[in-house]
């Protein structure tokens, strides 16, 4: 059913970007990047550092202004909003950053309540006296990510994996329809990385949250992604490293990559062994594709 949602026809994609261009000084980082994420879908965006993944992420959130291009959220234009209307639209976009970006001196609960800022009057924000209803909602979100016991712990005393789960809980409390995650597991150990990615995928399946997650590890992308995209030359292209993902990569590639988007990814990547696959995919993918 979830995969069907990903391929659903008629209703607009949860997140849709078309022809995004962005230049920093002399460097043209994005050259017409386009992508689509359906509700409930977990899309992994691969690419080496410097490929423009973070720029794309920042443009999609409008923390950075794209020079050109359109962004739609659930069919509604997002790229041409400003001020109050932009802020309102942002409520349906949750974010998870590589560097966590929690308010370090506030509790986990308060950080989750950040998702309720927009609808909370200023005096309540300033005194951090949120309504009982919002606190309940935040508690539920924390419970969902398994951090209810740590609710009153200060954010900077939590482990990296826990902080990332707080960020996810914030998106839940915010009621976001889209979750954008920029290298969410780059600073985490493998076990925590899997837990965080697994959580994001589950949320997609349970609540229809559309997840776009940039990663630089192909093995994780294949393990969790319903669909894998790749940043290349400032554009987003379908990933084909599934083919050369393994020892017998070149042979497999000649026979056309047969990676199934949305299929159970385990068999695709388990066979070749992850360690070697990672090196091959990083080093070999580009020249092979040209």
Residues that bind other proteins (CB under 8 A): 61, 63, 87-91, 93-95, 97, 99-106, 114-118, 120, 122, 125-126, 128, 167, 170, 174
Closest approach of other proteins to the CB of residue 62, in Å: 9
Rounded to whole angstroms, the Cα distance separating 283 from 268 reads 19
**Phi, psi at 73, each rounded to 5°:** -120, 120
Of 60 and 269, nearer to other proteins (C-beta) is: 60
Of 8 and 175, nearer to other proteins (C-beta) is: 175
Of 94 and 218, nearer to other proteins (C-beta) is: 94
Of 179 and 199, nearer to other proteins (C-beta) is: 179
CB-count exposure of residue 229 (10 Å: 0-12, 13-18, 19+): buried
CA angle (196 as vertex; 192, 197 as ends), nearest 5: 115
Of 100 and 224, nearer to other proteins (C-beta) is: 100
Rounded to whole angstroms, the Cα distance separating 145 from 157 reads 17
In sequence order, which residues have a C-beta less than 8 Å from that of residue 254 and are 6 or more positions away?
Answer: none
CA atoms within 13 A on the CB side of 141: 28
Closest approach of other proteins to the CB of residue 134, in Å: 12
Closest approach of other proteins to the CB of residue 239, in Å: 27
Rounded to whole angstroms, the Cα distance separating 229 from 45 reads 5
């Amino acid at each position: 059913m979830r995969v069907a949602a990903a391929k659903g026809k008629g209703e607009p994609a949860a997140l849709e970007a078309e022809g995004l261009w962005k230049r920093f000084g002399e460097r043209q980082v994005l050259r017409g990047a386009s992508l689509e994420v359906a509700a409930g879908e977990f899309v992994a965006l691969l690419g080496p550092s410097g490929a423009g993944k973070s720029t794309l992420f920042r443009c999609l959130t409008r923390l950075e202004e794209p020079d050109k291009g359109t962004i739609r959220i659930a069919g509604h234009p997002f790229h041409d909003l400003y001020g109050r209307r932009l802020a309102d639209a942002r409520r349906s976009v949750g974010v998870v950053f590589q560097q966590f970006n929690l308010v370090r001196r506030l509790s986990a609960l308060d950080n989750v309540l950040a998702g309720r800022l927009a609808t909370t009057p200023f005096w309540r924000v300033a005194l951090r006296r949120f309504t009982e209803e919002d606190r309940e909602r935040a508690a539920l979100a924390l419970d969902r990510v398994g951090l209810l016991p740590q609710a009153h712990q200060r954010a900077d005393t939590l482990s990296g994996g826990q902080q990332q789960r707080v960020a996810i809980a914030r998106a839940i409390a915010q009621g976001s329809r889209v979750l954008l995650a920029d290298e969410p597991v780059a600073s985490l150990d493998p076990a925590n990385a899997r837990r965080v990615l697994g959580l994001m995928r589950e949320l997609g399946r349970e609540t229809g949250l559309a997840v776009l997650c940039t990663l630089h590890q192909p093995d994780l992308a294949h393990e969790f992604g319903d669909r894998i995209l790749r940043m290349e030359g400032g554009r987003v292209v379908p990933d084909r490293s599934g083919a050369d993902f393994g020892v017998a990569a070149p042979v497999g590639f000649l026979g056309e990559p047969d990676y199934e988007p949305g299929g159970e990814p385990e068999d695709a990547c388990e066979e070749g062994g992850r360690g070697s696959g990672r090196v091959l995919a990083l080093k070999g993918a580009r020249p092979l594709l040209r």
